[in-house]
Chain A
Amino acid sequence: MRSGARESWLVVLFVFGCLLFSYPLMELFNDAGLLFGAPVSVLYLFSAWLGVIGAVWLIHERRK
């Protein structure tokens, strides 16, 4: 990764993460209906959460 690129990616991820967990996007998935056996809202929140964690892992651990 280019020097300084990791830092930029982290900032981008933070802003993107804040968007994922706030009003307009969350409203899209505000549904108690079941998808793969779990409520859509729960599924969205947990997968978005895991996505952010995975992205941090990718930024910090890959091609070090």
Chain B
Amino acid sequence: MFGGLILLVSLLYLGLLFAIAYYGDRRADRGRSIINNPYVYALSMGVYCTAWTYYGSVGRASSSGLGFLPIYIGPTLIAVLWWFVLRKMVRISRVNRITTIADFIASRYGKSSTLGGLVTVIAVVGIIPYISLQLNAVSASFTLLWGYPELRFDPSDRFTISGLDTALWVTLGMAAFAILFGTRHLDVTEHHEGLVAAIAFESIVKLAAFLAVGFFVTFALFNGPVDLFTQAMADPEAARLATFGADTIDYNQWAWLTFLSMLAILFLPRQFQMAVLENMDENHIRKASWLFPLYLFIINIFVFPIALAGLIVFRNQPMDADLFVLGLPMAAGNEWLALFVFIGGLSAATSMVIVDTVALSTMVSNDLVMPLLLRLRIVRPSERGDYGGTLLSIRRIAIVVIMVLGYVYFRVTDTAASLVSIGLISFAAVAQFAPAFLGGIYWKGGTRLGALSGLAAGFLVWGYTLPLAATHSFGGAPDDFLLYGPWGISWLRPHNLFNLTGLDPVSHSLFWSLLANIGAYVVVSLLTRPSVIEQGQASRFVNVFDYSAESEAIFLWRGTATVQALRSLLERFLGQARTERELNDYARRRSLDWTQMHQADAELVQFAERLLAGVMGAASARVAIASVVQEERLSMDEVLKLLDETSQVRAYSRQLENRTRQLEEKSRELEAATAELRAANERLQELDRLKDDFISTVTHELRTPLTSIRAFSEILYDNPTLDEERRTQFVGIILKESERLSRLINQVLDLAKLEAGAAEWNTTEVDLHALITEAVRASSGMAEEKGVRILTHIDEGRPLFVWVDEDRLMQVMLNLLSNAIKFSPKGRGEVCISTECKDNWLIVHVADNGVGIRPEDQKVIFDKFRQGGDRRMGKPQGTGLGLPISAQIIAHFGGKLWVESEPGKGATFSFTLPLPPSDHR
């Protein structure tokens, strides 16, 4: 009857766990997390306390006294440093979407799938003894309770109750439970809210059950702790347990175990899962670093009293000390408390099995099987298919295999070994992660090969000195292999390597394995050169706090991939709905339009890789991405540059940046200066050329009149007998040429002054109409001489004022008039002057009806010494400086001088002058 009750209550309890997990997931889906607080976080870390703590600690205390404590003191001490170490682990994992501890180490050393595989193997092999411990404890406690009210326990009963192998059934039951519980979600980086809630609940149950039995033993079986201690210490055999010494635990072993458990609390896969991966908020670490040790403290208060009580109560009765916790209430006839205690033990064991199998199966699927399938091309990400389901199946199979291996280990090794000694084997295994892990987050120099050799060396030494040795001590009696070493080689004895004595097997193994591990890790790391991606990852891990989450991620990638290829890859592992959602979110955040985007950029590829990494681990994700992406390797220099820019400590990097910016500014200034210099140089050369042209033109222009003056002077000089008429004619020519010469020189000087800005300007208010009238009168003699009529279309009565230098403007008017008269046909010429006002401008036109100016000449005539018309038509009729000077003057007044003409139809010269604002009313 009672046996059926045990089964019923156990099933009800497991059902309750499911209900809690379901509720936790439901709440998470609705965005109202029940685990997002430091208390649940600290409680979920209580998964550290397994059947080892629950049953084994008392067993340990009854033989080694206070030797059960370092396992809890170590975590308490390391928890002091959690704010540094754990927070860094959490930050790195979140930034890199780490899924397991194997993924963490593989990611750090260049997303190496070999390394991930090795860590997985170590973790699985290392945790198997630990799982066998849980099976051992549950089946033993079940067997003992099954026999109630009889109090008889024979270890071999575990295999034969009612012809059933209880351990095997417990194994299969737990595997089924772990599968149902742990493989419901695919993406392992999404928080397992339900799981965490259930584990936190289990922590409460086991604590309550253990405290219940503690109070019962101390206050019901004895009259309080004083009575219990007084009775126990009266027995010298029990009193010795309260002291340190060779027959309980010595300081050496104490120190080693404290150290070992410091590493275990950081690197046990289930602790990593709960403390790192399920962390919701880094600030929860503050509370957890005293709440979790407090939990350990409370659950340990009654261990020593229960052990002492067990020794007293079962003094004359054979009873496995590991079962005192259950045996005491049974002996007292309290079956309900016994049942509660059994449930407490069950919760301690199930929590460990669930979380560890979730962590290990994820490792096996992501870091061992998937990379293998990808490399062997059994799974081809580029082909159609749903691989999310494949991953889940791998995880389920892995859980069964791990549980069965635990069972096999349990059957093969010494079934009489105490729970704690089995568990310590696992602790020593996960301690092998410490060098590669801690080195990885604090030392950039660690390389993939270093980590591989360190882990392999440590794992081999561990395997030889602990689990292999354990299979050679059946029934607690060591065989020849342990006593004399393989083939009688004494320095190869597994518990006394190199004949080292004075250490217990666990400390001995830990010493040699860590020595080999750290030695190989450091030496090989120093001897090898990290690859490009390793350096990038090293920097991301070690300097994780210098990166602001994702924004500063280094894109150590260059290559090409199509958006379509990436999308279908994601669909195969994440499912269509989720892919759609993630990509749309991504597009919204960056305001992209998928229909416009065909080629994926580095950022998108990295985003896809991180998504995949959340499902299948960094190493697998990398292989999968590589299958659809054409990668180009970055050169070392490029990467170093990237690293230099992004990975330095903030202050240093800002300094660097500043200096770079200064340098850039300087070089930009230099460039600008160079360009200016070049331009100036060109301008100078141009000016030089112009000057040469000018001088040669001027000289040429000066020489023409000079030559004729000289020629006629010589004629007059050589022929004194020349008749009067010819003499007068020649002297007239000389006079005219001299006038031309002086006019030319005056104009050259004038132009030089204007160009140099040295001319004197005497600006006054001038009536333009009066000025035009004056100019016309001045030119009338010349016009009459040539028979040209001058018409003025201006309103002479109405003054039109402008601000100019009157003499200069007169110079322009006269120049334009004389040009017009010069080029007008003789006798029937007509020059027309008109003014108009347009906007703020006053425009003056001087039109003639002469030969006009050819289009190609219309610009040229404003150049110095250039004149329109065909040179063959005869001697130029002016100096060629009038128009350039006029243009300069008008430009000085702020106006413009130009010409419009059609050959044969005359030319119109126009210039503008700004109207004074007062006239613009």
Inside 8 A of B251's CB, which chain A residues have their CB? 22-23, 26-27
State in angstroms the CA–CA spacing of A52 and B78 once bound together. Answer: 11
**Contact residues of A between 31 and 62, Cβ < 8 Å to B:** 31-32, 34, 37-39, 41-42, 45-46, 49-50, 52-54, 56-57, 60-61
A56 touches B255 (CB 8 A): no
B591 interface residue per 8 A CB criterion: no
CB-CB under 8 A from B481, the residues of chain A are none
Which one of B69, B77, B242 lies within 8 Å of A52 (CB-CB)? B77
A39 touches B242 (CB 8 A): yes
**Set of chain A residues within 8 Å of B823, measured between Cβ atoms:** none
- Of B225, B242, B290, which contacts A41 at CB under 8 A? B242
Chain B residues whose CB sits within 8 angstroms of the CB of A53 once the complex forms: 76, 290, 293-294, 297
A60 touches B289 (CB 8 A): yes
B79 within 8 A of A: yes
| CB <8 Å contact, A56 and B66 | no
Q: Interface with A: B80-88, B114-122, B840-848, which one?
A: B80-88
Contact of B229 with A41 in the complex, beta carbons under 8 Å: no
| Cα distance, A30 to B66, chains bound together (Å) | 11
Contacts of A13 in B (CB 8 A): 80
Give min CB distance, A27 to chain B, whole Å. 7
Report if A45-B84 is in contact (Cβ < 8 Å); known contacts: A39-B229, A53-B293.
no
| CA of A61 to CA of B243, assembled, Å | 35
Q: Which residues of A contact B233 (CB under 8 A)?
A: 32, 34, 39
Provide the bound-state CA to CA distance between A44 and B81, in Å. 23
Contacts of A45 in B (CB 8 A): 66, 69, 73
Indicate if the CB atoms of A31 and B243 lie closer than 8 Å.
yes
What separation, in Å, do the CA atoms of A18 and B443 have in the docked complex?
24
Q: Which of A12-29 contact B (CB under 8 A)?
A: 13-14, 17-18, 21-23, 26-27
Q: Which residues of A sit under 8 angstroms from B225, Cβ to Cβ?
A: 37-38
Report chain B residues within 8 Å CB of A50. 297
Whether B286 contacts A60 by the Cβ 8 Å rule is yes
Chain A residues near B81: list those with CB within 8 A.
10-11, 14
Tell me if B240 is interfacial: C-beta within 8 Å of chain A. Answer: yes
Chain B positions 270 through 301: 1 when the CB is less than 8 Å from some CB of chain A, otherwise 0: 00000000000000001101100110010001
The complex places the Cα of A2 from the Cα of B387 at a distance, in Å, of: 53
Rounded to whole angstroms, the CA-CA distance of A7 and B83 in the bound complex is: 8
Q: How far, in Å, is A16 (CB) from chain B's closest CB?
A: 9
Q: A22-B251, A32-B242, A39-B233 are in contact. Are A49 and B290 (CB under 8 A)?
A: no
Interface size of A in residues (CB-CB distance below 8 Å): 33
Cross-interface CB contact of B80 among A14, A23, A30, A37, cutoff 8 Å: A14
Question: Are B243 and A52 in contact (CB-based, < 8 A)?
Answer: no
- Residues of chain A contacted by B289 (CB below 8 angstroms): 56, 60
Q: Which residue of B lies closest to A22 (CB)?
A: B255
Tell me, rounded to whole Å, the shortest Cβ–Cβ distance linking B76 to chain A. 6
Enumerate B69-109 residues with CB–CB distance to A below 8 Å. Answer: 69-70, 73, 76-77, 79-81, 83-84
Residues 834-869 of B at the A interface (beta carbon under 8 Å): none
Nearest Cβ distance between residue A40 and chain B, in whole angstroms? 8
Contact partners of A60 in chain B: CB under 8 A: 83, 286-287, 289-290
Q: Which residue of the partner chain A has the closest CB to B245?
A: A30
Q: Please, which residues of chain B bring their CB within 8 A of the CB of A6?
A: 83
Q: Which residues of B contact A23 (CB under 8 A)?
A: 251, 255
In the bound complex, how far is the Cα of B227 from the Cα of A37, in angstroms? 8
Give the docked Cα–Cα distance between A34 and B254 (Å): 23
Q: Which of A7, A42, A61 contacts B66 (CB 8 A)?
A: A42
A56-B229 CB under 8 A given contacts A10-B80, A22-B255, A41-B244: no
**B258 in the interface, Cβ–Cβ < 8 Å?**
yes
Answer whether residue B226 sits at the interface, using C-beta atoms and an 8 A cutoff. yes
Cβ–Cβ < 8 Å partners of B28 in chain A: none
Say how far A64's CB is from chain B's closest CB, in angstroms: 8
B304 interfacial by beta-carbon distance below 8 Å? yes
- Known contacts A21-B258, A22-B251: does B76 contact A52 (CB below 8 Å)? yes
A26 to B287, CA, bound (A): 28
Q: Are the CB atoms of B244 and A26 closer together than 8 Å? A: yes
Which of B77, B230, B304 has the most chain A CB atoms closer than 10 A to its own CB? B77
Instruction: Give the complex CA separation of A42 and B148 in angstroms.
Output: 34
Q: Which residue of A lies closest to B294 (CB)?
A: A53
Judge whether B800 is part of the interface by a CB distance below 8 angstroms.
Answer: no
User: Which of A21, A23, A27: most chain B Cβ within 10 A?
Assistant: A21
Q: A42-B304, A53-B294 are in contact. Are A32 and B80 (CB under 8 A)?
A: no
Q: Are B290 and A14 in contact (CB under 8 A)?
A: no
**B contact residues around A42 at 8 Å (CB):** 66, 242, 304
B304 partner residues in chain A, CB cutoff 8 A: 42
Alpha-carbon distance between A57 and B286 when the two chains are bound, in angstroms: 8
Which chain A positions have C-beta within 8 A of B287? 60-61
Question: Quick one: which of B185-207 are within 8 Å of A by CB?
Answer: none
Q: How far is the CB of B581 from chain A (nearest CB, A)?
A: 38
Interface presence of B239 (CB below 8 A) = yes
Whole-angstrom CA separation of A53 from B288 in the bound complex = 11
Question: How far is A21 from B224 in the complex, measured between Cα atoms in Å?
Answer: 27
B239 contacts across to A, CB distance below 8 A: 32, 39
Report how far A64 CA is from B294 CA in the complex, Å. Answer: 21
Q: Residue A30 contacts which of B79, B84, B243, B301 (CB distance < 8 angstroms)?
A: B243
Q: Which residues of B contact A18 (CB under 8 A)?
A: 77
Flag if A52 contacts B229 (CB, 8 Å). no
> Do B230 and A37 touch across chains, with their CB atoms under 8 A apart?
yes
Residues on B with C-beta less than 8 A from A61 are 286-287, 290
Contact among B77, B286, B297 for A17, CB-based, below 8 A: B77
- Residues of B297-319 contacting chain A, CB below 8 A: 297, 301, 304
Q: Judging by beta carbons under 8 Å apart, are B83 and A52 in contact?
A: no
Q: Which residues of A contact B290 (CB under 8 A)?
A: 53-54, 56-57, 60-61
Q: How far is the CA of A57 from the CA of B255 in the complex (A)?
A: 25
Rounded to whole angstroms, the CA-CA distance of A26 and B240 in the bound complex is: 15
Contacts of B226 in A (CB 8 A): 37-38
Do residues A52 and B293 form an inter-chain contact, with CB atoms below 8 A? Answer: yes
Given A23-B251, A53-B290, A7 and B229 contact (CB-CB distance below 8 Å): no
Report B37-88 residues with CB < 8 Å from chain A CB: 66, 69-70, 73, 76-77, 79-81, 83-84
Q: Complex formed: what's the CA distance from A56 to B304 in Å?
A: 25
B243 contacts A10, CB within 8 Å? Answer: no
Which of A6, A13, A41, A60 has most chain B Cβ within 10 Å? A60
**Contact B229 A10, beta carbon cutoff 8 Å:** no
Closest CB-CB distance, A24 to chain B, in whole Å? Answer: 9
Cβ A46 vs Cβ B297 within 8 A: yes
Residues of chain B within 8 A of A39, CB atoms compared: 229, 233, 239, 242
**Closest CB pairs A-B (n = 8):** A37-B226, A39-B242, A32-B242, A56-B290, A23-B251, A57-B290, A32-B239, A60-B286
Interface, chain A (partner B; CB < 8 A):
6-7, 10-11, 13-14, 17-18, 21-23, 26-27, 30-32, 34, 37-39, 41-42, 45-46, 49-50, 52-54, 56-57, 60-61
Given A14-B81, A53-B76; 9 other pairs, CB 8 A cutoff: A17-B77, A18-B77, A26-B251, A27-B251, A37-B229, A41-B244, A49-B73, A50-B297, A61-B290
Q: List 9 A-B contacts (CB under 8 A).
A: A14-B77, A17-B77, A21-B70, A21-B77, A32-B240, A34-B229, A37-B229, A52-B293, A56-B290
